[in-house]
Each structure stands twice: as structure tokens, then as C-alpha cells.
Amino acid sequence: MRRFPEYFTIWHIAGHYGLRLVAWLVLAFLILPILVIVPLSFNAEPFFTFTPGMLALEPEAYSLRWYQEVATDQRWTLAIRNSFLIGIAAALLATLLGTVAAVGLASPWMPFKRLITALLLSPMIVPLIIIAAGMFFFYTSFGLVGTYLGLIIAHAALGVPFVIITVTATLAGFDRSLFNAGLSLGASPVKVFWDVVIPLIRPGVISGGLFAFVTSFDEVVLVLFLAGPEQRTIPRQMFSGLREQINPTILAVATLLVVLSIALLLTLEVLRRRSERLRGTGA
């Protein structure tokens, strides 16, 4: 039992434990709906709910058949390939352009900084359905609808704000005297940039790239409007699955995606700690 200050009444203490209870209930609300799909994806029956056999923990009520279906169904394998292809290409494009631009934006000499920053961050604010409507009309006239290139460009535009935000944040903590120190020790500016600046902002660049990748990987509205049948991605396939014929294959894919997001979460945490250590701001 932890100790409370002298002036605490029984109501203070009740409030303390009440708050803790509420907090845990909210956490349960956040996490349980996601965890519930994991056991359901091992359902031997084609249902979206727990069978009596599953509740009795009978081994034969569980199976890997939906995972097998994901691995063999051509629509899903194509969707997985497309998701990674488009996601990686879009993230690379957004990271390259975004990092270079962030270096310019971090300069104190940058003209129209506020306006340009607002413009570059705007893809994050405008609702996707509006972006989709605009891009559909506009990209059609360039023959970009129904192509990989069109989707990569569209998703890169969505990823740019995240790269700008993470890289500018890293650059803001960047000590410019390190640059001058490198110069005073006789290195060329290019060498200082590669050997000093890039290693220091690398965590920001990588996490910006990851954000851009996840944005593309999770995006479905633009895919709905801009992709042809050849460019169907995982979320697009899930969307039509949920609309047309609901079966546990979707749950198996969803479980795999949860595992992927756990991996991403861990990667970003490692990057964050590394960045703090390099900049000497962390504990």
C-alpha cells in the first residue's frame, strides 16, 4: 500500500484509485478490440466470431487455414507485393525530397518560410476524399490513373509532411557549432555534411521515412480512386473484402499487420533513444 500525504482524506484516496481504474478501462478500450482479432484469425470455421469449440479451447477449433489462404490466394499475394512496392517507392521519394527541403527550411535565411511550410504540410490536413477527388480529375489528364507511378506520386505527397516534421525537429536540435568545428579543423563543407550532419540527423530521416512508408502502406482512399485492378494494395483488398464477402482471411491479414505495427513501434522507439543519446538530450 503506497503512502499518501497527511492531508489526504479518504475521498482523495478513493479518487486516486478511481482514476487509476478509469485509466485502465480506457486502455482496455484502446487495446482489446485490436487483440480480439488475433485469436479469431485462427478460427477453423469461416466465421467472424468465437465458436463454442474455440471458447472450450479445443485444438481442432483452431487452424491456420486462413493464413494459408493469404499465402496462396493470388489476389492477396499481389496486394502484399503492391503495398510494399508502392510504400517503399513513395517513402524513398518523400524522404529524399523532404530531407533536402528540410535542410533549406531550417536555414534562418529561408524566404517565405511560414507560407511554404504551411503549403508543404497541407497534405496532412486536407481530407483524403478531397485529395482523391482532385487527384482523380487531374491525374486522368496526365494518364496517371491506374498506374503505379500515379499512386507512388500521390502517396509520396501524403508522406512529405511527416518527413518535413521529423527532419526539421532533428535539425532544430542540431548544434551548428559542430559544423563550424569541423570546418575549423580543416574539413571541406561537403565532408562535414556527410561525416557530421548526416549521421546526426539520420534517426530523424529514418523515422520520417518510416512515417511516410506507413502512411502509404495504410492508405486506402486514394487507392480506391486512383488504382486499377493491377495496383490493388492490402488495405484496398481488405476494404473490398469487408464490403463484399467477409471471411477470416481478412482477420489473418489484420493479425499480420498488427505484428508489423509492433515491429515498427519498436524500431521507432530504438531510433528515438538513439537520437536522444546522439544529441545528449535524453536521460
Taking the mean position of all CA atoms in its chain, how far away is CA 52? 36
Shortest Å, Cβ 110 to another protein: 4
Closer to another protein by Cβ: residue 85 or 169: 169
Q: Decide whether 63 or 261 has the Cβ nearer to another protein.
A: 261
Smallest gap from residue 100 Cβ to another protein (A): 5
Based on the number of CB atoms within 10 Å of its own CB, is 251 exposed (0-12), middle (13-18) or buried (19 or more)? buried
Q: Shortest distance, CB of residue 89 to another protein, whole angstroms?
A: 14
Distance CA 276, CA 283 (A): 8
Judged by beta carbon, residue 71 or residue 246, the one nearer another protein is 246
Q: Are 196 and 182 in contact (CB under 8 A)?
A: yes
Q: Closest separation between CB of residue 101 and another protein, Å?
A: 4
* Between 137 and 194, CB nearer to another protein: 137
- Give the C-alpha separation, 52 to 43, whole Å: 11
Three cell numbers, residue 5: 500525504
* Cα distances (Å, whole numbers) of residue 113 to 110, 163, 201, 229: 6, 17, 21, 41
Shortest Å distance, C-beta 111 to another protein:
5
Q: Which of 205, 229, 86, 224 is nearest to 157 (CA)?
A: 86
Q: Which is nearer to another protein, 81 or 273 (CB)?
A: 273
